[in-house]
Amino acid sequence: MKKESVKTVGIVGTGIIATALAALTTGHGCPTLVFARSDASEERFRKTYDGHFALFKSHGILTEEQAGICKSYLKVVRTYGEMKDAEVIFESVVEDLDTKHDVYHQIEANCPHVKVIGSVSSSIVPDRLAETVETYGDRIIVTHPFNPAHIVPYFELCKGEKTADGVMEFMVDFLEAMGRKPVCLKKPTPGFIGNRLQFALWRECLALVEEGICEPRDIDRALNYSFCPRYSSIGIFEHFDFGGLELNRAVCKNLFPIISDRKDVPPVIDELMAAGKTGTKAGEGFYDWRNVDMEAYAERVNAPYWKFCNWDFPTEKM
């Protein structure tokens, strides 16, 4: 599929994910309608949206002229009726089932050309999302991105029992046309793939600290300078296949019995929270953040992903 095959994209929501999605779609020349509930939400959205392209410009990814061309593909609307031409709609509202159902009912009543509705939900399975939806229940899937969604190319897609044949494939083709790297789950699971992997690693990191084996900074150094860089170019299954499953089996036999299988929240988390050390906003967490250059930190957060931002920007205004 060429991204131009989708004539209009709709985005319901003005938060962090919605704004990143708008940067992604307009940055690829897709006419995009964003539903905002108020002047205040539109103002916040536009400020963040402009900030995304300002960051692109500061990294030499696009010019001021190109940013203006991308912006011409954006329109913020106040009614669902103004989204009547949308064919692909991203639902990015609060993680509340009743609120999401209301959005879907509004889309059903006002948008006759919808081919797929992708919810960015991180915890509600597709069958629950579609349970009160009549006309478009077969077009709702989960389309879960990682933040920031316009820079990190990975998306996790999941369909439900009601989902019609071809709907998820249509969204995969659309995302791939914008350079995204979607995967399709065979069935729903809390945390999908990425967060299950991330929190399995996090559980073991916390266990190593609680057992007095090392400090948090030692773990971060291990991740930065041992296996994490490798997994930005090859996968873990590739890695262990290459190393040989005979060795892998022996290590599994030795390590699995001692790896953490904790089922509750580790005490170290509750202890820090009780002390008011809740992270960057409080100035302290596992680390002392009070004198950290947060702009430099943000730059480090995004550094590995800039290589994916080789977009085919539109060359003419809409």
- Does an H or E element contain 116, and which? strand 116-119
**Is pLDDT above 90 for 303?**
yes
pTM of the model: 0.93
Helix, strand, or coil (residue 317):
coil
Tell me the pLDDT tens digit for each residue of 197-213: 999 999 999 999 999 99
Please provide the DSSP assignment of 202-227 as one string. HHHHHHHHHTTS--HHHHHHHHHHTT
Average of per-residue pLDDT across 220-247 = 96
Taking the alpha carbons at both ends of the chain, their separation in whole angstroms is: 20
Can you give the pLDDT at residue 34? 98
Position 165 confidence tier, pLDDT thresholds 50, 70, 90? very high
DSSP-derived secondary structure letter, 279? B
Position 264 confidence tier, pLDDT thresholds 50, 70, 90? very high
**Token digits for 31?**
């006419």
Q: Do residues 147 and 16 lie in contact, with contact meaning Cβ atoms separated by under 8 Å?
A: yes
Average pLDDT for the chain:
96
Average of per-residue pLDDT across 165-179 = 96
Can you give the pLDDT at residue 212? 96
Average of per-residue pLDDT across 37-64 = 97
Position 67 confidence tier, pLDDT thresholds 50, 70, 90? very high
Can you give the pLDDT at residue 186? 95
Given the structure tokens 């190109």, which residue do they identify?
66
CA distance 53 to 4: 21
Report percent pLDDT > 70 for the chain: 100
Helix, strand, or coil (residue 8):
coil
**Is pLDDT above 90 for 190?**
no
Can you give the pLDDT at residue 170? 97
Burial of 58 (0-12, 13-18, 19+ CB in 10 A): exposed
Question: At CA 152, angle to CA 147 and CA 154, rounded to 5?
Answer: 100
CA distance 77 to 315: 24
Can you give the pLDDT at residue 292? 97
Helix, strand, or coil (residue 184):
strand
Domains and CATH numbers, the chain: 3-192 (3.40.50.720), 194-305 (1.10.1040.10)
Can you give the pLDDT at residue 123? 86
Residue whose C-alpha is closest to residue 97's, from 127, 128, 119: 128
Can you give the pLDDT at residue 176? 97
Q: Do residues 117 and 107 lie in contact, with contact meaning Cβ atoms separated by under 8 Å?
A: yes
Given the structure tokens 């008011």, which residue do they identify?
276
Average of per-residue pLDDT across 115-131 = 94
Can you give the pLDDT at residue 4? 72
Can you give the pLDDT at residue 258? 97
Report percent pLDDT > 90 for the chain: 95
Buried b or exposed e, range 155-189, using 16+ CB within 10 angstroms: bbbbbbebbbeebbebbbbbbebbebebeebeeee
**Is pLDDT above 80 for 1?**
no
Q: Do residues 3 and 176 lie in contact, with contact meaning Cβ atoms separated by under 8 Å?
A: no
Average of per-residue pLDDT across 263-290 = 97
Q: What is the largest CA-CA distance in the chain?
A: 62
**Is pLDDT above 80 for 269?**
yes
Average of per-residue pLDDT across 164-176 = 97
Tell me the pLDDT tens digit for each residue of 18-36: 999 999 999 999 999 999 9
